[in-house]
Amino acid sequence: MNDLMNPASEAAESGTYPKVFFSLLDRTAPRIINNPDEEAGLDLLEWTTIPPQTRAATEPEFPAVYYNINVPAVIINNAAELAQLSTSFVRLDLTGVFEPVPPAV
């Protein structure tokens, strides 16, 4: 396909488009913006976008506590145990409950 006829090809090269803009002033449908020229044509006092949330690919820390409302919590010690766990289990976030302990040197 010709790149001139495919605005998505330009967006794919830049890595930041398409973007979805929402109106701050009225209830109009969101606009999909495919390139910087379209974005420059918007009144930024009227239109805004929510930046995509990117997560760094990190390995989960072990041991971790996973729970399901129907059964007791389970302590998972490694990735192999996590792979065997049903998808109905959710990781229990203990952030703020315990202070992290630095590793022993």
Tell me the domain boundaries of the chain. Answer: 17-50, 57-98
B/e letters for 40-66, b = 16+ CB within 10 Å, e = fewer, are eebeeeebeeeeeeeeeeeeeeeebeb
Query: pTM for the complete prediction?
Result: 0.40
Tokens read off for 8: 């998505």
Q: Could you give the C-alpha distances from 24 to 28, 43, 49, in angstroms and in order?
A: 9, 11, 10
Question: Residue 84 has what pLDDT?
Answer: 93
* Contact yes or no for 52/18 (Cβ under 8 A): no
- Among 42, 54, 53, 50, smallest CA distance to 20 is for 50
**Does the structure show a pLDDT above 60 at 8?**
no
Mean pLDDT in residue range 39-57:
75
